[in-house]
Amino acid sequence: MLPLDGVTILDLTQVQAGPSCTQLLAWLGAQVIKIEEPGKGDRTRWEMADKENSDSFYFLVFNSNKKSMTLNLKNKEGVSILNRLLKMSDVIIENYAPGRMDEFGLSKQYISKNFPHVVYASIKGFGNSGPNSYLKSYEHVAQAAGGAMSTNGVTEGPPLFTSTGIGDSGSGLHCAIGILAALRQRDLCGEAPSVDISMQDAVLNLLRVRFVETFNDGLPVKRTGNSVWDSPKCVFPCKPYGPNDYVTMVITGDAWESLLALSGNSDLIGNKKYDSEDSRKERGDQVYDIISNWTKKHSKNEIMNILGDLGIPCSPVKDTAELLNDEHLLHRKMIVNVNDPQRGEYKAIGSPIKVGDSEIDITPPPLLGENTEEILEEMLGFKLHEINSLKKNGVI
């Protein structure tokens, strides 16, 4: 049994912010029904296609463990069918452009009034209220609006985009938490509250540690590259000097003395020039040279083993190809094999949330409309001739 067994979610999202949310909930056991436009579906199925007659890998990584139902929401009969599904669902989630749900006749107010048991969750670039709520957003827009881009980069350079999906997937994470909280409130109070997620808000929340300085002095945080609280430079080169042959480590207190001993610089132990974080930051280039002259003699994995055995927090800089074969991740089922009817077997990322002893099996994303007839027959009681009529009329 999984925690969300018995929860049904109508997923009207596409691309990444919404699908990343519903995928997490599907992994936790919810029945997620992805509602897609007939003949098209989530545009990332085909916009980012890398193989003929196959959905794109972009689509695959955000839509496992779901069902797909095609439904034309521009058609009154399609909206009527969705209304019938709402009666037996717990959540509806959308990340359409502002105003689109109103055009379908499926506004938050309509759903809250007619289906008070249903959590209405929405992800927008700037939320559903405020002077900027009409604006659209994408990942890099959210990173800029939420402040992350202003803090990323080197002092003399421009703001930099980060490839980690803090705008899209970060919003999805926040929305998943909001949905779980809303379901709990519904169970306690009898009515479901709505969930309003702004991508800008989500990025801002993830950036809170960078606000410590600004809260103190009111000034914008400077871009500092690889400088961190314990070191002006936290990434050190290793053999054989490839693009990702680097290691990072924490060099506080006892760790610093251990590093001096390992690197053949025991004579510097206790030296006032290096005996505090502040003094080491003042001599950042010298500290970097001391450590990097040692790390260059070893591979990044050798460094990890040496420092790990001493209890010093460290890690090699792992690239995406290395991670696919990482022994630890394979053990934790974070890298799994999935069999897809179009692609055959491929590697995918597993669930980062482990709940008790429950096994979370990653299943392939559905083909477009794969479960339409099943849902119409089993959930809504449609007969075969009625389903054929819906197809003929472009409803499904």
User: What pLDDT score was predicted for residue 232?
Assistant: 63
User: What pLDDT score was predicted for residue 42?
Assistant: 95
Q: Name the stretches of the chain with pLDDT < 50.
A: none
Dump pLDDT digits (tens) for 194-219: 999 999 999 999 999 999 999 999 99
CATH number of this structure's domain 235-323: 3.30.1540.10
Q: What beta strand segments (E) does the chain contain? A: 8-12, 31-36, 67-70, 91-94, 119-124, 195-198, 235-237, 246-249, 314-316, 335-340, 344-349
User: What pLDDT score was predicted for residue 277?
Assistant: 82
CA distances 174 to 121, 127, 130, 184, 202, Å, are 11, 13, 19, 16, 7
Dump pLDDT digits (tens) for 248-278: 998 887 888 999 999 999 999 889 888 888 8
Domain ranges of the chain: 8-207+336-392, 235-323
User: What pLDDT score was predicted for residue 359?
Assistant: 86
8-207+336-392 topology per CATH? Rossmann fold (3.40.50)
Alpha-carbon dihedral sign for residues 15, 16, 17, 18: positive
Token pair of 109, please?
A: 């107010």
User: What pLDDT score was predicted for residue 231?
Assistant: 66
Please report the DSSP string for 257-294 in residue order.
HHHHHHTT-GGGTT-TTTSSHHHHHHTHHHHHHHHHHH
User: What pLDDT score was predicted for residue 388?
Assistant: 96
Token pair of 97, please?
A: 């452009």
Token pair of 299, please?
A: 């591979």
Strand 67-70 relative to strand 31-36, pairing: parallel
Catalytic residues: 168
